[in-house]
Structure 1
Amino acid sequence: FCLARADKNHSSETFIIAYLKSHPEDEEVAENWLQQVESHGGLKTEHYELAFRIGNAQQENTIIQHLLARFYLSEGRTDFPALQTYRQVLSEGSNQAVDIVKHLAELFLRDGRADEWALRIYLRAFRLSGERCRLLRGIAACVHWLHETERTTHLLQQARKLLVSLDEMQLKKLREGFNPPGPEPTEAKISAQLKVSITLWKVVRQIGSSFFNVITSAALELIGRARDAINLIKRSRRAKLILEWTMITVLAIGVITLMVNTISYLIRSKRALYEKEKTIEIAVTDPFTLQVAAYLKPQDAERYVKYLKTKRLDAFWIKRRGKRKVWYQVRVSHFANKASARAYGKSLKAEGIIDDFYVANYERP
């Protein structure tokens, strides 16, 4: 009902934000809040973390993803949450993606990006925009910096057709100010996780304090009742007899429970030790792996493998002979089934560590 009010006050807005921090998956409340924010001029800096969490929780909600994309574009953001949202929106292929492509191309030109994704955006924007001279600068830089792989061959062919009338001096001038490809930013995600952890710790501490107060009050009440019961027992022989048998019964139950728990623990420990030894003895026989890149030069493959290993990935490359060319394919890890391989590949892609992947048969070089 708070969102339905036209005259929202500060307390109701605070309540909505607190609710969304705990329930970012609530589509109706999240949509209404983001639309209210849009009508009031956009996101405040203190709401960046909440917007990122809502986007993560509702990646299939096109309304929310488009709202977030518009917020990020209006602020000129190219950090991890923004790039993740742009990718999600552009993968849908909707009509609204046209404006996003144009604005994203402007941001990439501003940042001097010259990587595979930037080239895709520049080429799409070139077909839609009237600012073709500026876009040619980015396209020329991408052609210069990008290595030819299975994924980039078609893109580079399209780009070279647009630059065919330019000589080397003109191309050199066009690509001035652009940077070679580098890893996608991930600092924003790490920062968001840290902030979430701090928020959770504050909530847990507050709940713990309230719980302690309740327990303390209950303990004082029980002490008072126990004092009255002791005075009654002192005056009654029958009460003393009942108390003795009650204590004997409780003690017997406690001993039996302790024995059962001890035996169960020993059985579980022995079983866990057996399973651990059994697991160690099993050799790696996973049949699938992820191919994340392919190069025409082995040194390019080695360079990418080194980069992936800095991310603590089990990366390696193998040599493959095609119909006309020899490819040096970069692969990551090994998996028991294709579903787990795809899930891992999607997580690496979402984090910006890799651009794309497909599941291949596992084998070491």
Structure 2
Amino acid sequence: MTLWFKHLAVRLWLALFIASLTAMLLLPALARSMGPAWMIIPVVIFFLFSFWLVGWVFAAIGRHQMDRLLGEASVWERAGMNREARQLLARAEGTVDSFFFSPFSRRRPAGRLLAQLARFELASGTAENASESVVAAYLRRFPRDREAAAKWLEGLLAGRAVTRYTHDIAVQIGAAHPDDVPIQRMLAQFYLSERRCDFVALNTYRTAMRANEAPPVELIHGVADLFLANQRVDNLALRVYLESYQHGSRDSRILPGLTACCRLIHPTPLTLPDLESAETILAGIDSARRRAMAVDFMPDMIADHAARSPRRHRRYLADLGTGVKSALGAMRAALPDPGRLTQGAAQTAAGLMHLFGRALFSQAAKWIVLGSVVVAFGWLVVNTVLHLGPEAPPVSPPPPAPAPAPAPVVTDPFTLQVAAYLKESDGRRFVDQLKEQGLDAYWTRATSGNKTWFQVRVSHFKTKDEALAYGEALKNRQIIGDYYVANYKRPDLP
């Protein structure tokens, strides 16, 4: 806010000064052509133009000064003269904070200065010399700068103090470089040093472990130690325990952790290879000892969990193969002899039920089969009831609606036309008024030139004299105004 008031004060005074000089020079000439009453308009225009011109000149001077200072600082930095480079960067910082830049025009030069300051501090040699506030501010704005992010992470791993912004910056760097394996592994080492086991840290560990290149052994053992201390039992923990064991870890908690994973992780196509590897490692341990090890590792969860056979996923595959073989054998036995079709079908159904009963996802398969049987049985019952039930009496078609009575045919050749309108609504309104008087009024449509007229007519007559007499009577009663006798035309439909 202080920078805004400083820039605004200087800019307003200079704009007023320039606008005043311009008005003193140009207003006398303008007053003779425009008149004194309109002088406020050129004054406002002069002031707005002067205000814009001062801001543009200030920004140009500030950018020129910034380019010169940052260029000289880069030269001193390349020459190894860090003291002189730091002084020039401080002067550039003072230029950014001066009245040359408005709050809107200072964003770009401030970003350039922040980037050069952050790179200068990161390259200064040791973590103690790095300005954490400058680097943190830069990485919060530009987390995609890989070089700066990597240098910052190296400083963290070297022992630089962790501040309240450090974890937020680490999360932004991880989100900006999701596929960069070195960055993710440095983040994993940082999270590991902080003993973090939250969602962000777990995703980082997973990315670091599943990379094409083998992760460092220290990282594997460190993550395994963290997971064992937190008694984690999930797919990632199983993979980490296996990697740690295969890389020579002899931690006494590894085997209980593997045992707990084998008992609590449900076998799926994704987890089955890791479960098989764990079973191979635990092959020499009997089931009672395995259960005791799993209870020691996670006593609460194992006690509440239903006991599982340690080779359950292997029996799933064996039962799956047995069920398929029995079903195919029953079908082959039934095909050669038609008389054995029923027996073969029964054996096939029994084999398929055995297959579904012992499959990898047996519980879901049982519910699917049970639901299908219920639906089929319900459809059979409904179909049987409809087939055996009494036939419904035939429904006779409704009697046809009586045809509307034909309109009476009028043979009288004359009628009275009492009005003509260009709007249909006006013609309809006048017809309704005449009908309220008890007259046989109607309207017709006629085209003349480019116009369509809606003619209001009354009754029909055999002779023209009858029509004239009727028209005079209506005119005397002041029901209509002027009229004339016209040839009768059938009314238009409404």
TM-score of the pair, normalised by structure 2: 0.35
Higher relative contact order (CA 8 A, sep 6+): 1
* TM-score (norm: length of structure 1): 0.46
Bigger CA radius of gyration: 2
